[in-house]
């Protein structure tokens, strides 16, 4: 009889964890680049009271008898469907229209791109991935995001994009090493950043790179909008926007959260009812145990 109480407790814990994920989804309904979480349940352990057996010349075969001990959380997945486009007034705000991630990190990281994809993928752990493109130039001319992380991509060499090396994007400097002051900066669909100097001359700054992640659910979420490359992600490689199954870039906008409020509210209701049903299992089991104790009276 006590087994049903243990099953109810296991159900309470599982439904509470699902409610935690739902609460986090709703709290981030207006968070740019947020990807909604999803919880799946699985059955808990079983006690076999009778095993299956083969039939004989006299008796038929028998099936197993097993008693379960409730449910538990099976997986907590992130849904990487695209969020809607949120227009802004900044030409430096970018949204990825499709798959892929922006690559950001500290200054000084350089990754040589070779024919050995496995080696390049291992090096990609030096940068952090993000879907939020709220970019700007800092005082040293580096392209950075809202948290001060430098944006990585491809630079120009002799007027041509140098795709053999992943590097931080920075405004060209003058003879004194001071970054040029640019006006009318724009970002194209292919991630090319172009501006005009004080004389009105067009200056090519660089190209924003996008990381292609075969299994994004294997990424580890860190603080804020960032993801870290871990095991089981597959071969993670940087590409020009629009290449390697990555999407193109839309400027003057950011990606909204992909949380579906109607879905979250319906999930909240079913989770609440499941929680209530499990509390009922515990209370009924307690009443049955009380009746058993009362036999002695």
User: Rounded distance, CA 141 to CA 138, Å?
Assistant: 5
Q: Where are the alpha helices (DSSP H) in 28-68?
A: none
Residue 14: what are its φ and ψ, rounded to 5°? Answer: -65, -45
Residues 72 and 42 sit within 8 Å (Cβ to Cβ):
yes
**Beta-bridge partners for 67:** 47
Which 8-state DSSP code applies to residue 57? Answer: S
DSSP single-letter state for residue 139: T
Listed in sequence order, the residues at least 6 apart from 251 whose beta carbon sits closer than 8 Å to its beta carbon are 91, 92, 93, 94, 186, 187, 188
Instruction: State residue 297's pLDDT score.
Output: 65
Per run of 10 residues, the mean pLDDT along the chain (length 297 residues) is 85 96 97 96 86 84 85 94 95 96 95 93 95 95 95 89 91 89 92 90 94 95 93 94 95 96 97 96 90 81
3-state SS, residue 274: helix
pTM, full prediction? 0.89
Q: Which residue has the tokens 């008796």?
A: 59
pLDDT recorded at residue 136: 95
Angle 103-105-111 from CA coordinates, rounded to 5°: 70
- 167 Cβ neighbours under 8 A, 6+ residues apart: 109, 110, 111, 152, 153, 154, 155
Q: What is the largest CA-CA distance in the chain?
A: 101
The torsion angles phi and psi of 8, rounded to 5 degrees, stand at -65, -40
Q: What is the pLDDT of residue 1?
A: 59
Give the distance, in angstroms, between the CA of residue 96 and the centroid of all CA atoms in the same chain: 14
């Amino acid at each position: 009889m006590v087994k049903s109480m243990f099953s109810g407790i296991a159900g309470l814990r599982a439904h509470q964890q699902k409610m935690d994920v739902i609460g986090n989804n709703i709290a981030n309904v207006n968070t740019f680049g947020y990807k909604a979480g999803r919880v799946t349940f699985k059955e808990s352990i079983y006690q076999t009271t009778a095993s299956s057996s083969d039939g004989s010349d006299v008796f038929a075969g028998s099936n197993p008898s097993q008693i379960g001990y409730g449910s538990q959380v099976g997986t907590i997945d992130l849904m990487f469907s695209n969020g809607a486009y949120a227009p802004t007034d900044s030409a430096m705000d970018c949204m990825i229209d499709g798959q892929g991630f922006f690559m950001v990190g500290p200054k000084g990281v350089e990754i040589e791109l070779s024919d050995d994809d496995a080696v390049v993928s291992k090096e990609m752990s030096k940068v952090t991935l993000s879907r939020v493109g709220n970019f700007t130039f800092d005082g040293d001319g580096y392209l950075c995001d809202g948290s001060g992380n430098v944006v990585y991509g491809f630079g120009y060499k002799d007027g041509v994009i140098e795709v053999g090396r992943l590097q931080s994007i920075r405004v060209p400097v003058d003879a004194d090493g001071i970054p040029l002051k640019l006006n009318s900066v724009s970002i194209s669909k292919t991630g090319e950043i172009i501006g005009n100097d004080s004389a009105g001359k067009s200056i090519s700054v660089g190209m924003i790179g996008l990381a292609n992640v075969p299994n994004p659910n294997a990424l580890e979420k860190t603080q804020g909008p960032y993801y870290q490359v871990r095991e089981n992600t597959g071969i993670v490689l940087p590409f020009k926007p629009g290449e390697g199954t990555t999407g193109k870039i839309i400027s003057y906008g950011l990606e909204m959260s992909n949380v579906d409020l109607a879905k979250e509210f319906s999930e909240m209701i079913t989770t609440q009812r499941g929680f209530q049903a499990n509390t009922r299992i515990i209370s009924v089991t307690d009443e049955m145990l009380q009746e058993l104790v009362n036999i002695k009276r």
